[in-house]
Amino acid sequence: MANWLKFVIALASAFLLMLAFRALAFTLYTVDGRALAPVFINGDRLIVSRWSYGLRIDGGRLLPYSRLLREGVRRGDIVAFDMPGDSVKGICVARCTAIPGDTIHTTNGPLIVPGRITCSTFDYYWLEAIADDNPVDSRHLGFISERNIIGRVAGILYSHDDTKNIFEGYSPERSAIW
């Protein structure tokens, strides 16, 4: 009986540590489709560092939004972010092309990326899709708030063709690309 209890406690502890690690340090996202080609392809498992810009804390009314050990997104970073707004849910990946204070040129004229330096509540970023035909970026969504940014894409952990079974369809040449 004591060995059984030790096993359950060890298993529960390992499970809780794994959940804490995944929630606080890194998380995995699966690329679905060709919208991120040629950098990322369908089936790639991207590892995203949640600490790259500071740990995001957003507990609604209980804990207001903040970032623990906050750092800004840098130009050229590939970031994962939550879709802004309540109508559409999902995680997107795009490259940061403008940071707060930068001027971008759009078809409607020049825009200045707002941020705390311009008396905004949050820093905002201009994120552009890796593939030009991807409609999910700042050209269609507008500025992306730091509140929506999950973290920096650290690389490809592994790639798997989901049309094949679990033992087949791995692409070793795309694994652990950092």
In this predicted model, what pLDDT tens digit does every residue of 67-95 receive, in sequence order?
778 888 999 999 988 888 766 677 888 89
CA torsion sign for 65, 67, 71, 76 is negative
Of 171 and 71, more confident:
71
User: How confident is the model at residue 87, as a pLDDT?
Assistant: 60
Q: Cβ(170)–Cβ(157) under 8 Å?
A: no
Q: What is the DSSP letter of 146?
A: G
Q: Cβ(112)–Cβ(103) under 8 Å?
A: yes
Token pair 């004591």: residue = 2
Of 136 and 124, more confident:
124
Phi, psi (degrees; rounded to nearest 5) at 61 = -75, -30
User: How confident is the model at residue 75, as a pLDDT?
Assistant: 93
pLDDT class for 106, splitting at 50, 70, 90?
Answer: confident
User: How confident is the model at residue 98, as a pLDDT?
Assistant: 92
Mean pLDDT of 33-59: 80
Q: What pTM did the predictor assign?
A: 0.76
pLDDT class for 23, splitting at 50, 70, 90?
Answer: low
